[in-house]
Structure 1
Amino acid sequence: MKRTAILFSSGLLFALSSAGLAQTTVPAAPLNLTGMQNVTFGPPRFSTQGSTTRVVFDLPAGVRYTLTPTFSGLRLDVQGARIPAGVLTNPGSSVNEVRAGAGQITLFTPFPLSFTAGWQASEATLATGARVLILDLGPAITGGAAPALQGQVLSSAPATPGAQAVLTATPTLPPGDTVAPAKVLPPAPALPGPVLSGPMPLQGRVPGAATAALLAAPRIGKNPGQTRVVLDLPPGSSYRLVPGAAGLNVELSGVTLAAQGARSVSPEVREWRFVPGVGGGVVSLLTPAPVTARSGWRAQLLPPASGSAWRLVLDLSPALADLSPLTPAERAVGAVPPVLATRGTAILALSANFVRPRVVLDAGHGGRDPGAVGTVVEKEVTLAVALRVRQLLEGAGVDVVLTRDSDRELHPVKNTDLALRAALGTPGTALFVSIHVNAMDANAALRGYGIETWWNPNHPQSAALAGLLQRHMTEVTGAFSRGLKNSQSLSVLRNSRVPAALVEIGYTSHPVDGLNLQDSNYLDRVAQGIALGIREALVSGVTAQTAPAQATAKRP
């Protein structure tokens, strides 16, 4: 359908038809117009008709420009003119945001662009003789660059045979991505009492007068991935929980213990034993993994179901993490100072020479690609965490670019999708962090739990970045640390040109870890850990702009 838009330029009213734009053959090199070089390019003018937004730039003499359509919008790289730095939000129905500075302008769109779809570009001459660049953007627009366009147009995907071979090769995926959906193990039962709103208490007292009654052997309940131990405490007795590297000790007073125990109780409890003492004793629950004050166990004291004994209910699993809400103080992320602008840094400039450091967050999977499916769906959790991290970092003064901010994939071909994500690490980007959820096949599901971080020697700072992320995530969540993993073949890391790391924040296939991933407090804590790790990397020099010898951060 023919469409006419009315625009103002240099005080003149003119009409421009957007019909008949066709794909152009890309010139071998951008046109170098003659004229003055010390001029300004932009800001543009906008008009909207329905779902189409028209953007008009004046073209000063001597300006060269390159247009690059990408899955996130249209980028203009300009030479021969100065671009005033700034950000404009929601200028039109098909332009969410405009970011300008350091020789580059990016028009962010709510839909992906290809070489010919989602946009049109043409040039026109006004009655005054001035030239303008006209960009139409909309989900129904097709055509790309007009034949007479004098700027250069680049595709966001490589066009050489060698580059295309990389895009069509079999991708190397994170470990959880290769697990086929299978029957999910039943989730571990929650504690029967009220949900705790804060950290678990380490001590307590049973109401009533002390009787020093004999403590019965613990009652044991076994579930996949978790063991429940119940101690029937008589009235007047007291307890104190002491987590440690060997397991969980329960120090009791006001009760009598007889020496007894059992071994090989369950995968989560290697042994329990009663150690009598004066006026009480100790119940030792030995576990195969360390227990900390915030992870590996949960406890509640419940009133009698029958009789007079109160029930101290202890759940033990190495996958149990800290699900308490973050306090306001814990949510704070310190400010990140601006950095010196570099060529290609099209973000909000704080001055003529300094900009906010840019970080790319990749929410794994999306759209038709759900990722790992188990207790949760990976694509949903990764997006939820990425949005949380963005909010935290933007509040700290970081410019955050998301590979996706909704449920969509970047390309139907998996390897192309991964390459497009990695390609967002453009010059001026400091760090790239990809967020994923792990999984194991059903026959091995109980062996997979906790957090791990992958890095690739694509950049000398990637290992340091991975170490900071792993340390902060496990410190904030209390989750089991699976450590750092080095891979030279993970596609999204291998193809990144900046320090890059991939975090696996838990296992959707594990009956306990899957419940962590369902908990909003846990996701808050994961996001906080990622944000703190990124902040430390930025302020300590673990970035694309810093050589390893200059970095001050230490790997944990």
Structure 2
Amino acid sequence: MRPKDVTPRPAAWTTRAALFSLLSCGLPGAWAAPSSSSPPVPVARAAPTPQDVTPGTARGAGVTFGQPRASSDSGKTRVVFDLGRGVTYGLTPTAGGLRVDVVGARVLPQTRVGLGPGVTGYRASGQQVLLVTPFPLSLSDGWRASEATLAGGGRVLLLDFGPTLVGGAGAGLRARVRPAPPSGGLPPGTPQNDRVTLAASSRPSSPATAPIPLPAGLPPSDVVSATSQVTPPAPPPPLPGQEGGQPSALTGQARGARRVGAALAPPRLGQNPGLTRVVLDLPPGTRYRLVPGRVGLRVELTGVSAPALSAQNVTPEVRAWRYEPAGEGVSVTLATAAPLTERGGWRAQLVPPLDGSDHSRLAIDLSPALADLTPLPARERVLAAVPATPVSPGTAILALSTSLAKPRVVIDPGHGGRDPGGVGAVVEKEVALDVARRVRDLLRAAGVEVVLTRETDRELAPDKAADLNRRAALGTPGTQLFLSIHVNALPTASALRGYGVETWWNRNHPLSGRLAALIQQNVTGVTGAFSRGLKNDRSLAVLRGSRIPAALIEIGYTSHPVDGLNLRDGHYLDRMAVGIARGIREALVTGITAGGAVGGAGK
């Protein structure tokens, strides 16, 4: 096509197209719509430094900063800001996210939730923007920053966030990066038994990282590291009077008679790696109601008073706390890094007063890795029967009659024998086998034939590639579904970044993605565990070699000080097994199987 045959595009169209290209580069996804449903959270103003001001520009004269656009892909999130003429900024990575101090523009106040998996919150006020991340940032880890010039001449700031990203600010922006200030200690006077401590001797040691020699050509995702035993993390000290396995009450009342005009003191906080404890001293007779939600925990107190108070960037788990007078009491907001549910992300206990005090203590633990460790009622440990499937040529299995047979599934407990898998709070091969046996028993009681790839602590072959191939080979026609069970792990230096449950699938079968979604949905619903979502951006040998719907679930992180404790808890493992079994049952009765629909009965 000759140049004269090309119809000129308007400049605005060119600018929009270029911006869309930048936003979508490697991160396909929809634009994030602004939300105005929540008022902005006050953020401390940062005084601009002289070098931040561009000479000859009017500071903030008609220029604004904010209203970011975002897109996400494979657990990473890109955030794009327009940079007006004369706008400069400073970047401060912290344990709770990235702070942007803006000079030369008016920051548009706004609070948003969930720009993507890498950015769980956005707060803008004063001359500061905070992009909240569910993992800590360092000067070089967890984020990248760069600038770009659009075809129309506009300038944009590109910020990428992801737990595995490395790089930090690009070469041209490093002068704008400021180290985060050191975090302070506990408020003076915090009672010793309110503190959350971890003895130095009980911290996990660094596992060895030398890989086991493997045949050439084995995908990196299937490499197994030879990890040495490490000391499991010690649990936070139990709260006085706390009973293990008891659910957190959503309502309650401090002991004693209510006093008119009783005042609420500011909260006291203690920290453990990966967990923050908030303690509210409740005067006698104070009633409380706990409301977990997407932006944190709201504590509604009745029978107490307090002035409006707040604090920002408190700990990695508590982004901010705020007191607001409300009717006959006080509303306390604890803004968290990750959404809370009734089952996960928090625990609370009303603790009796200390000697010499009449104030009960409402102790609240906050961590995105906290899950439901309460016992399952007996009725929830039973699955409804799975109907038999018609026998067809090439179909499995234990025949119930000449025309019907039990559906058959393969459960693969990962690793085994000389291959321990991840080692931290638990040993991966041991927990994977434990959960697999629990799933087997639940499904067999519901009328499903279950085959375990290993019933004991052993390998299927001395060669790792052959071992994986033998596991995958059991997922052949005649079997309905294949599920591999694993435990995640990260190096000690980045251990706090990894927690929660994720389910993998490959494009080995058109229904594998739907199977993975059912497993993930049921497991997180029963356990309250943090959902890391579905993953399919790596080819896993144990999945790609299967010819039936197949998935792999990572049931938690042995390297995380809180998630590791979940994996050591029998009630949690019970819940995990029930969630997996429910997901498999739902797949069988809705036709997400190698043989098509089994039937709708008992769904």
Same-fold status (TM-score > 0.5): yes
- Structure 1 residue corresponding to 2:254, chosen from 194, 206, 226: 206
Contact 2:233 2:564 in 1 (8 A): no
Deviation per residue, 1:175-202 (Å, 9 max, x gap): 8955855866734404313324443110
Answer yes or no: is 1:451 the counterpart of 2:498: no
Counterpart of 1:526?
576
Greater alpha carbon shift after TM alignment, 210-219 vs 234-243 = 210-219
Deviation per residue, 1:473-500 (Å, 9 max, x gap): 0111111110000045200001111110
Counterpart of 2:236?
189
Answer yes or no: is 1:396 the counterpart of 2:441: no
Contact 2:224 2:419 in 1 (8 A): no
| Residues 496/173 of structure 1: CA separation in 2 closer, same or farther (3 Å cut) | farther
Counterpart of 1:494?
544
Higher relative contact order (CA 8 A, sep 6+): 1
Question: 2:379 aligns to what SS in structure 1?
Answer: coil
Contact 1:359 1:431 in 2 (8 A): yes
Q: Matches of 2:534 and 2:225 in 1, distance apart?
A: 19
Q: Matches of 2:428 and 2:490 in 1, distance apart?
A: 13
Counterpart of 1:473?
523
Structure 2: tracts of 5 or more residues without a match: 1-213
Answer yes or no: is 1:350 the counterpart of 2:400: yes
- Which amino acid counterpart does residue 243 of structure 1 have in structure 2? P
Q: Matches of 1:477 and 1:267 in 2, distance apart?
A: 23
Contact 1:229 1:313 in 2 (8 A): yes
Contact 1:188 1:223 in 2 (8 A): no
Query: Taking structure 1 as the reference length, what is the TM-score of the superposition?
Result: 0.66
Counterpart of 1:374?
424
| Residues 187/173 of structure 1: CA separation in 2 closer, same or farther (3 Å cut) | farther
Question: 1:270 aligns to what SS in structure 2?
Answer: strand
Counterpart of 2:218?
171
Identity %, equivalent residues: 60
* Deviation, structure 1 residue 257: 1.1
- Which amino acid counterpart does residue 290 of structure 1 have in structure 2? P
- Structure 2 residue corresponding to 1:261, chosen from 295, 305, 310: 310
Answer yes or no: is 1:232 the counterpart of 2:281: yes
Whichever structure has more strand as a proportion of its residues is 1
Greater alpha carbon shift after TM alignment, 173-182 vs 432-441 = 173-182
Counterpart of 1:128?
none
Contact 2:222 2:541 in 1 (8 A): no
- Structure 2 residue corresponding to 1:247, chosen from 296, 305, 308: 296
- Which amino acid counterpart does residue 258 of structure 2 have in structure 1? A
Q: Matches of 1:546 and 1:312 in 2, distance apart?
A: 52
- Which amino acid counterpart does residue 247 of structure 2 have in structure 1? P
Q: Matches of 1:468 and 1:537 in 2, distance apart?
A: 7
Query: Taking structure 2 as the reference length, what is the TM-score of the superposition?
Result: 0.61
Question: 1:465 aligns to what SS in structure 2?
Answer: helix
Deviation per residue, 1:149-181 (Å, 9 max, x gap): xxxxxxxxxxxxxxxxxx944433658955855
Q: Matches of 2:280 and 2:451 in 1, distance apart?
A: 51
Q: Matches of 1:179 and 1:290 in 2, distance apart?
A: 35
Counterpart of 2:364?
314
* Deviation, structure 1 residue 237: 0.9
Question: 2:318 aligns to what SS in structure 1?
Answer: coil
* Deviation, structure 1 residue 412: 1.4
Deviation per residue, 1:86-127 (Å, 9 max, x gap): xxxxxxxxxxxxxxxxxxxxxxxxxxxxxxxxxxxxxxxxxx
Deviation per residue, 1:523-553 (Å, 9 max, x gap): 1111111101111111111111129xx999x
Question: 1:429 aligns to what SS in structure 2?
Answer: coil
* Deviation, structure 1 residue 340: 1.9
* Deviation, structure 1 residue 353: 2.0
Count of residue correspondences: 384
Q: Matches of 2:469 and 2:347 in 1, distance apart?
A: 43
Q: Matches of 2:339 and 2:507 in 1, distance apart?
A: 31
Question: 1:360 aligns to what SS in structure 2?
Answer: strand
- Which amino acid counterpart does residue 397 of structure 2 have in structure 1? I
Q: Matches of 1:173 and 1:384 in 2, distance apart?
A: 27
Q: Matches of 1:391 and 1:243 in 2, distance apart?
A: 34
Counterpart of 1:217?
266
Counterpart of 1:139?
none
Question: 1:285 aligns to what SS in structure 2?
Answer: strand
Answer yes or no: is 1:293 the counterpart of 2:339: no
| Residues 450/551 of structure 1: CA separation in 2 closer, same or farther (3 Å cut) | farther
- Structure 2 residue corresponding to 1:341, chosen from 391, 396, 416: 391
Counterpart of 1:429?
479
Larger radius of gyration: 1
Q: Matches of 1:463 and 1:173 in 2, distance apart?
A: 22
Question: 2:480 aligns to what SS in structure 1?
Answer: strand
Q: Matches of 1:467 and 1:273 in 2, distance apart?
A: 37
Structure 1: tracts of 5 or more residues without a match: 1-166
Q: Matches of 2:220 and 2:449 in 1, distance apart?
A: 28
Question: 2:306 aligns to what SS in structure 1?
Answer: coil
| Residues 502/228 of structure 1: CA separation in 2 closer, same or farther (3 Å cut) | same
- Structure 2 residue corresponding to 1:513, chosen from 563, 567, 580: 563
* Deviation, structure 1 residue 453: 0.3
Question: 1:498 aligns to what SS in structure 2?
Answer: coil
* Deviation, structure 1 residue 329: 2.1
- Structure 2 residue corresponding to 1:359, chosen from 409, 417, 420: 409
Contact 1:340 1:355 in 2 (8 A): yes
